Structure 1
Amino acid sequence: MVLAGARARSSARPGAITRRTHPLWFLFPAYGLLLVFFVLPTVYQFVYAFTDWSGFKASIAPVGLDNFGQLAADGTLFRSLRITVVYAVLVAIFQNLFGFGLAVLLERDTVINRIVRTLFLVPVLMSALAVGYIFQALFKGTPVLADTTWTIVVVALIHAWKWMGLAMLIYLAGLKTIPLDILEAAKIDGASRWKTFWRVRAPLLAPAVTFNVATALLGSMNGFDVVQATTGGGPARTTELLNIFIYRTFGQGLFAQATTMSLVLFLLVAVLAFPVIRVLRRREEMMS
């Protein structure tokens, strides 16, 4: 019996993972959490959007597309959608410009550059609400957050400031992974540092651009905390993102309408953000 066990062990491939040592039921807790906190809420969002669920009724009845019709008739929803799209585009532009610029300036591995990189990563680790309240206190008593035209730009800059350290890190990683032989070949061909950067190095950053643009768009289209803490959607609701509108509607007890808005936001992300990411991915494949 001992010899048989030894032969069985010796016949097993080295490094092989068996079901006995790694049973699949170890995944059940993770799948359970995913089901309870992601799958079920998503399914119920699609269900309750077509009902009259509210805090003023004891029962829930289906209403078809009435919620969508009411929201379409109210210009507030389309205004919030427009503000959300403008905010997302501004954040994506600012965050990538700041991150790219910092990565280029701090590319050299010097002691000072390493310290500065760490300092720019501090806002990434901070709470978004804390960042919003800090800037609210800084701008208190000034007209910066009172202008109905430029306040959306200000809050977009604050959002980009918080996350530009992450963009910087991704661009730095992209710059560090560019093969040196390509740069040496460009130098031998007589290309200047400027042409080498824009004609050789910048195109090779396509994967970093895709990641940073995607995270900036998805994060800002689902934005809430920075704007809520800084302006609360004001002045005159000019910074009222769709998530802030949903938050206020849900707080009024209009649960079905708030759920419908959440579904509209989901569709907005799918229609606008994902095609942009697909175009960037195609551009990345062409450059590679």
Structure 2
Amino acid sequence: MSTVLDHATGVPTGTPPQDSARATPARARRSSAISRHTHPMWFLVPAFAILFVFFFLPTVFNFVYAFTDWSGFKSQINPVGWDNFTDLAGSGTLYASLRITIGYAVLVAVFQNLFGFALAVLLERDTRLNHLVRVLFLIPVLMSALAVGYIFQALLKPEGALNGLLSALTGADVHTAWLGSTSWTIVVVAAIHAWKWMGLSMLIYLAGFKTIPVDLVEAAHIDGASPWRAFWCIRFPLLAPAVTFNVATALLGSMNGFDIVQATTAGGPARTTEILNIFIYRTFGQGLFAQATTMSLMLFLLVALLAFPVIRFLRKREEIL
């Protein structure tokens, strides 16, 4: 007697319900086995190969070449031990670049989070106008950093559009060199960097606002709290994870900055905006490859040394709040 199978389930049509129930786990196991065979892990090999060639291998060579005399003036590469590090330790220019880099990173983190948080508060309501404005502020995030730097460099030069606009509004001839001050240029460049990325911070803060339970705010209003007090005492502390992400990414990302500074000031005036990556770029261009590699290694260590305490501090703040 032949058995007729149900094409939908693969179970014989005459099988009792108990047998059908026992057949279900077997079908699940077969389906899982098929899934494992059709999606093997070796599909990840190309991605890991690209990551190894373009990230891990250069990182290893970065550590190796920092202990050599590699340069554009000789064909042989010889090990020199810690000589590159001792030479840089006695360089006042390196310490100046490190100080400028840290100051630049702190300014960017402050400006970017202030701008992003203010935009998130102003554009929190889901209206069509707010949706449109959010998209407009996200456009700079998608733009090339070099393009943003060159646009602002053209706007802020003495004969640029900003001075032309101020001259038209005030009736006076304005020729301010916005990028020519040895005291304030670093602040202007940091504000430009923050302007480019404030849309991303705005998006993270908006997502943080959406995760706050409405019941908590309504309970605060019922208890007599004003909207201002409810915001700062309830809603703002619950934004701690968003603050952690935005501060960490802005601070550590700006320490690796290069494009905007290079396009606007190229490290000037008088090297007051020469962050470490600009210094590394100039050193490498002079043919001092080993010294530039050593500087990049020191930048890597500096970012790592700052990353862990900052993230740990912000995580502790989340637990307290």
Name the CA distance, whole Å, in 1 between partners of 2:309 and 2:65: 28
Please tell me whether residue 130 in structure 1 is matched to residue 147 in structure 2.
yes
Please tell me whether residue 262 in structure 1 is matched to residue 296 in structure 2.
yes
Q: More deviation in 7-16 or 226-235?
A: 7-16
SS of alignment partner, residue 32 of structure 1 = helix
Q: Which amino acid aligns with 2:47?
A: A
Instruction: Give the share of equivalent positions with the same residue, in percent.
Output: 75
Distance apart, 1:49 and its partner CA: 0.4
Q: Which amino acid aligns with 2:42?
A: W
Corresponding position of 1:160: 194
Corresponding position of 2:89: 72
Please tell me whether residue 11 in structure 1 is matched to residue 29 in structure 2.
no
**Cα distance 1:53–1:169, how it changes in 2: closer, same or farther (>3 A)?**
same
Q: Which amino acid aligns with 2:117?
A: F
Q: Following superposition of structure 1 onto structure 2, how do residues 1-288 of structure 1 map, counting pairs within 5 Å?
A: 11-13=26-28, 16=32, 18-141=35-158, 142-287=176-321
Name the CA distance, whole Å, in 2 between partners of 1:269 and 1:12: 52
Larger-gyration structure (1/2): 2
Distance apart, 1:54 and its partner CA: 0.7
Consecutive unaligned residues of structure 2, counting only runs of 5 or more, are 12-22, 159-175
Normalization by structure 2: what TM-score?
0.85
Q: Which amino acid aligns with 2:283?
A: T
Name the CA distance, whole Å, in 2 between partners of 1:177 and 1:127: 31
CA RMSD after TM alignment: 1.7
Q: Which amino acid aligns with 2:299?
A: L
Consecutive unaligned residues of structure 1, counting only runs of 5 or more, are none
Matched residues, number: 284
Name the CA distance, whole Å, in 1 between partners of 2:140 and 2:89: 38
Instruction: Note the alpha carbon deviations across 1:185-204, whole angstroms, 9 max, x for none.
Output: 11111111111000000000
**Cα distance 1:147–1:22, how it changes in 2: closer, same or farther (>3 A)?**
same
Name the CA distance, whole Å, in 2 between partners of 1:163 and 1:194: 27
Q: Which amino acid aligns with 1:122?
A: I
Instruction: Note the alpha carbon deviations across 1:11-34, whole angstroms, 9 max, x for none.
Output: 142663643111111110011011
Name the CA distance, whole Å, in 1 between partners of 2:130 and 2:43: 44
